[in-house]
Structure 1
Amino acid sequence: MDPASPRPVDHLDDDDYPAYTMGRAADMLGITPAFLRALGEHRLITPLRSKGGHRRYSRYQLRIAARARELVDQGTPIEAACRIIILEDQLEEARRINERHRHHQQQDSSA
C-alpha cells in the first residue's frame, strides 16, 4: 500500500456501517426478523437497503434492537418500548448539548 495514498475506511470500526443482513442480525440478537421489521415500522431503526433491496443493519442499530428486546422481554409493549428508547436517546442528546454549553460558558467566563 502506498503510504501517500489515503487509508481506506475501516468499516470494522464504524458503528454506523450497515454490515449485517436481517437474518444475521436476528440470529445475533436471538430475535426474529419480524421483530426487526416491527422496530422499523415503529420508526425506532431504519435499516439501509442493499442494491438488491435487502435490509442491512449497523452495530449501533443492533444495540438499539437489543435494548428494545430487553424492554419487551420485561413485558413492555413494543410500541412503548420504541417510544422509551427514542426518549432515552433524546435525553442523552440533550445532556450532551447541555454539557457543551456548560463547557463553553466556563471558557467564556475564564477568558
Structure 2
Amino acid sequence: MTADDSYDRLDDDDYPAYTMGRAAEMIGATQGFLRALGEARLITPLRSGGGHRRYSRYQLRIAARARELVDQGTPIEAACRIIILEDQLEEAQRINAEYRRAAESGPPSEQA
C-alpha cells in the first residue's frame, strides 16, 4: 500500500478507522452502547488483527441515530428496527426514482 492509498481511505465512509473508545467518544455514547448495537446486529464492526472492534464513519452515523432515538426514550431494540426500516425505505425510494427517470426517458429508440 502506498501513501496515496492511505490518504484515499480517509475519504472512504466504509473504512474501519475508529477504535471502540474513539467511536463511543465521537457519538457521545458508552462502549457498552456500541456493543449492544453489535449484539442487535444493527452494525457489525470489523476486527483488527488483535481482535479489537473498529468502526467506519457510516457505522458511526447509524450508531449516532440509534443514540438519538434511545435518548428520546425508544428501547434499543425498537431503535434498531426503526433504523433498519428507515434504511429500507430510503433504498426503495432511490429505486423508485430510478424507475421514474427511466420511464420518463421512454423506451430506447430503435436503430435501423
TM-score normalised by L of structure 2: 0.88
Q: Which runs of 5+ in 1 are unaligned?
A: 1-6
Q: Equivalent residue for 1:8?
A: 5
Q: Equivalent residue for 2:51?
A: 53
What do you get for the CA RMSD once the two structures are aligned?
A: 1.4
Q: Which runs of 5+ in 2 are unaligned?
A: none
Q: Equivalent residue for 1:88?
A: 86
Q: Percent identical across equivalent pairs?
A: 77
- The alpha-carbon deviation at position 8 of structure 1 amounts to 2.6
For residues 58 and 8 of structure 1, what CA distance do their matches in structure 2 show? 17
- CA displacement 1:46-74 (0-9 Å, x = unmatched): 01111111110000100000000000000
1:70 to 68, 77, 80: 68
- CA displacement 1:15-48 (0-9 Å, x = unmatched): 1100000011011111111000100111110011
Aligned residues: 105
For residues 60 and 47 of structure 2, what CA distance do their matches in structure 1 show? 15
Q: Equivalent residue for 1:105?
A: 103
TM-score normalised by L of structure 1: 0.89
* Ranges of 4+ aligned residues in structure 1 off by more than 3 Å: none
Q: Equivalent residue for 2:26?
A: 28
Which letter does structure 1 place at the counterpart of 2:43?
Answer: I
